[in-house]
């Protein structure tokens, strides 16, 4: 398909005031997002969103699929490389098109309006609110380690965390960014601290790396490597988060690609380091058997206080991850509304704080409702694999736009092109295919929920070419 020129989060072309029904649009200065984010802010947003609870929990499920240490570590390294290849590709798009909404703008330009819309619909209505709800419940569950909470208490605490983070992010992009920086720096310190105590304090042994090499034939490792790779890629998910707020970066042409690549490299080092450190303390079989692997390792090296320390680290980590999602995700419906592909209210910006405050509030309310309904995990299961379809399409967009728009300004060009985007597309394709084969019912439901968005797209006229107004409903 040919390229489609798209105005991302910009104001409508033409006159300075546009008539929307009987109303007049506010001046552009009052409806635009404000560029305030630095390289540090951007990197902390990405790192903080990627690292939730996976570093403390997922190593156990990965180790359980193998009988030796080497393939367990290899899959974390492979996941890091594949994620970095995706990050290289997304960095080119982000630097070339620093627009609110990220992939919404990229897919629309490369493949046409309906693909940008489908991504935005899935992300705004299903994936991100379900993720916010699920992480909030995870936060509240670990809070119960310190404060007795029943089922309703956990739900109430989850809702309070969502409301609190939403309120913080309604007071300006810098407020949300500073909050993110604090949470992320603490969680980085906690992850490094976990790795350090595992190696430096008594309790670990190099003998725990045995057996290191696999004894089974290479062919027998293919299936478990594929399954583990899916879990690892999900653990690395989030390296594109900064692209949602591209229009709010001070120097997106330089800082966008740097932040994406730096955050992916940093998280990769933390994940691989944690996998090795936990094995050093518990041994391969111990890691595989553990249901709270980081807490168990910390207990070995620092005593009973270790479990509490890890619970506190997970509290901070999940809260920081959710702040990143709340902060960035509201920019997707904002960008869609500004392009006439979503409800008009989502494109409104607070004149004082210059953030999409209504989109933030509605996102928070919907996420809270999902907490109380208990359907967030189900929705995430249905749709999360679809996000890798859009990641693959974004990497393909690099190739498509290189062919159809060779003259596009590209401050950063994908390292290893075209090999790196193709490798990522192949891995994403495997993940999607495996999910459809292994979970056909959930996959069908996910694709159905995605297709449901087309009812609104055509029914409310969002498919029509954009005119001088932004939004129609």
Could you give the C-alpha distances from 75 to 47, 72, 235, 284, 288, in angstroms and in order? 20, 6, 12, 14, 15
- The DSSP-derived string for 193-236 is HHHHHHHHSBTB-GGGG-S-S--S-THHHHHHHHHHHHHHHHHH
Tokens representing 270? Answer: 């933390």
Q: Using an 8 Å Cβ cutoff, are 188 and 348 in contact? A: no
**In whole angstroms, what is the distance from residue 367 CA to residue 119 CA?**
18
Instruction: Tell me the whole-structure pTM to 2 decimals.
Output: 0.85
pLDDT, tens digit, 9 for 90 and up, residues 59-79: 988 998 899 999 999 999 999
Q: Where are the domains of the chain?
A: 34-459
Please say if the pLDDT value at position 186 is more than 60. Answer: yes
Pairing of strands 19-20, 23-24: antiparallel
Lookup result for tokens 């999602």: 325
pLDDT, tens digit, 9 for 90 and up, residues 14-26: 333 333 333 444 4
* pLDDT given at position 466: 63
* pLDDT given at position 473: 53
Could you give the C-alpha distances from 243 to 256, 307, 341, in angstroms and in order? 7, 36, 19
Q: Is 173 exposed, middle or buried (0-12, 13-18, 19+ CB in 10 A)?
A: buried
Please say if the pLDDT value at position 150 is more than 50. Answer: yes
pLDDT, tens digit, 9 for 90 and up, residues 108-131: 999 999 999 999 999 998 889 988
Q: For residue 13, which phi and psi values (nearest 5 degrees)?
A: -70, 165
Instruction: Say yes or no: domain 34-459 is CATH 2.120.10.30.
Output: no
Q: Average pLDDT in the 360-384 region?
A: 86
**In whole angstroms, what is the distance from residue 141 CA to residue 25 CA?**
45
Q: Using an 8 Å Cβ cutoff, are 292 and 128 in contact? A: no
Please say if the pLDDT value at position 228 is more than 90. Answer: no
């Amino acid at each position: 398909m040919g390229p489609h020129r798209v105005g991302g989060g910009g104001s409508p072309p033409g006159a300075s005031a546009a008539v929307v029904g009987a109303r007049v649009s506010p001046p552009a200065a009052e409806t635009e997002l404000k560029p305030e984010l630095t390289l540090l802010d951007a990197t902390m947003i990405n790192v903080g969103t990627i690292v939730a609870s996976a570093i403390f929990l997922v190593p156990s499920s990965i180790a359980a699929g193998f009988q030796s240490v080497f393939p367990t570590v290899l899959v974390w390294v492979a996941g890091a490389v594949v994620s970095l290849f995706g990050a290289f590709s997304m960095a080119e798009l982000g630097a070339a098109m620093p627009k609110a909404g990220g992939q919404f703008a990229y897919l629309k330009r490369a493949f046409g309006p309906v693909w940008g819309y489908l991504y935005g619909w899935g992300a705004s209505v299903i994936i991100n609110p379900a993720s916010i709800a699920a992480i909030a419940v995870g936060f509240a569950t670990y809070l119960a380690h310190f404060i007795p909470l029943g089922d309703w208490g956990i739900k109430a605490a989850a809702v309070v965390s969502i409301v609190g983070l939403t309120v913080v992010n309604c007071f300006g992009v810098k407020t949300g960014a500073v909050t993110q920086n604090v949470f992320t720096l603490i969680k980085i310190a906690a992850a490094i601290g976990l790795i350090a105590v595992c190696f430096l304090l008594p309790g670990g042994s190099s003998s725990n790396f045995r057996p290191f090499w696999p004894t089974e034939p290479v062919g027998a490792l293919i299936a478990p490597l594929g399954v583990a790779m899916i879990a690892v890629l999900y653990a690395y998910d989030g390296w594109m988060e900064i692209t949602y707020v591209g229009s709010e970066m001070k120097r997106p042409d330089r800082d966008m690609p740097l932040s994406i690549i730096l955050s992916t490299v940093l998280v990769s080092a933390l994940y691989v380091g944690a996998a090795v450190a936990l094995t050093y303390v518990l041994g391969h079989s111990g890691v595989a058997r553990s249901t709270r692997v980081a807490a168990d390792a910390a207990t070995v090296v620092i005593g009973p206080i270790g479990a509490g320390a890890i619970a506190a680290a997970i509290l901070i980590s999940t809260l920081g991850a959710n702040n990143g999602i709340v902060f960035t995700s509201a920019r997707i419906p904002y960008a869609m509304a500004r392009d006439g592909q979503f409800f008009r209210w989502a494109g409104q910006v607070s004149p004082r704080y210059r953030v999409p405050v209504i989109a933030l509030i509605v996102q928070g309310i919907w996420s809270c409702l999902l907490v109380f309904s208990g359907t967030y995990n189900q929705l995430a299961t249905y749709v999360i694999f679809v996000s890798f379809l859009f990641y693959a399409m974004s990497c393909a967009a690099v190739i498509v736009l290189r062919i159809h728009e060779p003259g596009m300004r590209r401050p950063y060009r994908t390292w290893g092109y075209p090999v790196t985007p193709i490798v990522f597309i192949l891995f994403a394709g495997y993940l999607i295919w495996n999910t459809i084969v292994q979970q056909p019912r959930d996959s069908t439901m996910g694709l159905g929920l995605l297709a449901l968005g087309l009812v609104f797209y055509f029914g409310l006229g969002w498919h029509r070419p954009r005119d001088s107004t932004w939004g129609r409903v």
